[in-house]
Amino acid sequence: MLTADQSARPPIGGRGRGRFADVAFRWLVTAAGAAVLLILALMIGTTTVEAWPVFVKEGLGFLTSTDWRPGPSRTEITGSYGGAAFLWGTAVSSLIAIIIAVPLAIGIALFLTQLAPGWLRRPASYAVDLLAMIPSVVIGLWALLFFVPVVIYPVMELLAGTIGQVIPLFAGPPTVRSLFAAGIVLALMIMPIITALLREIFDTVPADERYAAFAVGATRWEVMRHVILPRSRPGIIGASMLGLGRALGETIAVLMVVGGSPSIVIELFRPAQTIAGQIASGFAEASPEGISGLIALGVALFGLTILINVAARAIVWRLGETRGDAAL
């Protein structure tokens, strides 16, 4: 610690060697900050270079064709790389997740910020946060061996037997490992993240506006419905998009329950495959050019998540700037 009687210290603005220390320190921490940008740039650069031959050969077919047959070559691209089936699996499972998780997260965040009694608020928020801390592979194991076969499969059978007769989306016969199961598991995984963001967003609604609504006789629900929700709409959109970004990139838990068969199916109760799942499961046996194909899939996935993330961050950030820093 510093004490006042360190008489050996040179005076402020002195010409001792110490005057360079501040400059060096500033450079050091600036370099650390810039390193973040550098890593991100390197990530984009390296992977794009590796994947470039695949993009060149396939062109737009990379996104529209379902023909995925990697070749055995070490040096050139001989197979065909159509990633549409994986893109489909990722999009549909994430969409199911968002449709389920967002309303649920809004409900939980409203309950925790507006209704919950004081004694419940902290432990309940903590429990929801804890769900986000459980490693993805553990959720995958639990879903694969317990949750999907025991809880979700009967629901799928029920749906297939009733509305599945009319709507092809829910047509049977269901398989345990399916797009639907993957969507539910994803919903479970992104719900705590969205809830945490929404809690902070709902908390930033000015108390004046809530009290004003109460003063004209609004019930608790009416305050939520007509004051808090409209006020928070950009925040809800931002938080949902951040959740969507997570869902798109989630790998291991989804891989364990999605079934691993790349095909574009309308039926949600059939197996499919996601981009991230294909990268993880195809990697160990892939040929050198096959790995380039997987890296190309990774670049596509990265582009998608970055797009969604930047847009979401921009929305959430603007909120943070107009309403103090609490919105993040």
* CA–CA gap between residue 309 and residue 245 (Å, rounded): 6
Say if residue 173 is preceded by a cis peptide, omega within 30 of 0.
yes
Cβ atoms 181, 148 nearer than 8 A = yes
- Encoded tokens for 2: 């510093």
- Spatial CB neighbours of 77, under 8 Å, sequence gap ≥ 6: 53, 54, 57, 71, 289, 292, 293
Scan residues 160-189 and list those touching other proteins (CB under 8 A): 188
36-65 mask for other proteins (x: CB under 8 A)? xx-xx-xx--xx--x---------------
128 near other proteins, rule: CB under 8 A = yes
Scan residues 62-91 and list those touching other proteins (CB under 8 A): none
* Alpha helices for the chain (secondary structure H): 19-58, 61-64, 84-110, 118-133, 136-142, 153-161, 179-203, 207-215, 220-223, 229-231, 233-249, 252-258, 275-282, 288-322
Give 39 or 266: the residue with its C-beta nearer to other proteins: 39
Instruction: Tell me which of 15, 22, 119, 230 binds other proteins, using CB under 8 A.
Output: 22
Scan residues 189-208 and list those touching other proteins (CB under 8 A): 191-192, 195
212 near other proteins, rule: CB under 8 A = no
* CA–CA gap between residue 14 and residue 22 (Å, rounded): 12
12 near other proteins, rule: CB under 8 A = yes
258 near other proteins, rule: CB under 8 A = no
Instruction: Tell me which of 53, 95, 280, 287 binds other proteins, using CB under 8 A.
Output: 280
Give 171 or 241: the residue with its C-beta nearer to other proteins: 241
Nearest distance in Å: CB 36, other proteins: 5
Nearest distance in Å: CB 101, other proteins: 10
